[in-house]
Amino acid sequence: MINDILRRPPWRSSALSIAVGLALSACAVGPDFHAPEAPKVADASHPYTPAPLPAMAASNPSPAYVPQHFVDGQDISATWWEAFQSPALNALVQSALAHSPTVTAAQATLRQAEENYRADYGSKVFPSVSGQLQGARQRYPVAQGEGIPAGYTANLFTAALDVSYTLDVFGGNKRELEGVRAAIDYQRFQVEATWLSLTSSVVATAIQEASLRAQLQVTRDVVDNANRSLKVIDAQVRLGALARGALLQQQTLIAQQQAQIPPLEKALAQTRHQLAVLAGRLPGDDGLPTFDIDSLTLPRDLPVSVPSALVRQRPDIRASEAQLHEASAQIGVATAALYPNITLSGSVDRESFKLGRLFDTGTTGWSLVGGLVQPIFNGGALQARKRASVAAYDAAQAQYQSTVLNAFLNVANTLRAVDTDADEVTATADAERLANEALRLVERQYQLGAVSYLASLDAQRTYLSTRVALVQARAARFTDTAALFQALGGGWWNAPDAVASAASASSASH
Residue ranges and CATH numbers for the domains of the chain are 2-33+74-286+307-508 (1.20.1600.10)
The segment with the largest mean pLDDT, out of 142-156, 318-332, 336-350, 445-459, is 318-332
**Residue 84 and residue 237: Cα distance in Å, rounded?**
51
133 forms bridges with which residues in the sheet? Answer: 159
pTM of the model: 0.81
Is the pLDDT at 364 greater than 80? The verdict is no
pLDDT more than 70, % of the chain: 86
Q: Is residue 31 a contact partner of residue 331, using CB atoms and an 8 Å limit?
A: yes
Mean pLDDT value across residues 362-370: 75
* DSSP-based three-state secondary structure for 287: coil
Q: Is the pLDDT of residue 509 over 80?
A: no
DSSP three-state, residue 286: coil
What is the pLDDT at residue 363?
63
pLDDT at residue 53 in the model: 73
The pLDDT value recorded for residue 35 is 92
pLDDT value at position 209? 96
Q: Are 213 and 268 spatial neighbours (Cβ–Cβ below 8 Å)?
A: yes
> Which pLDDT band holds residue 497 (cuts at 50, 70, 90)?
low
Angle in degrees, CA 224, 228, 230, rounded to 5: 110
Q: How far apart are CA 13 and CA 5, in angstroms?
A: 12
Q: How confident is the prediction for the chain on average, in pLDDT? A: 84
Top-confidence residue, 96 or 284: 96
pLDDT of 58 above 70: no
Quick one: pLDDT at residue 62?
58
HSE (CB half, 13 Å, CA atoms) of 52? Answer: 9
For residues 483-509, average pLDDT: 67
3-state class (DSSP) for residue 471? helix
> Per-residue pLDDT for 55 more than 90?
no
Give 508's contacts (C-beta < 8 A, 6+ positions apart).
none
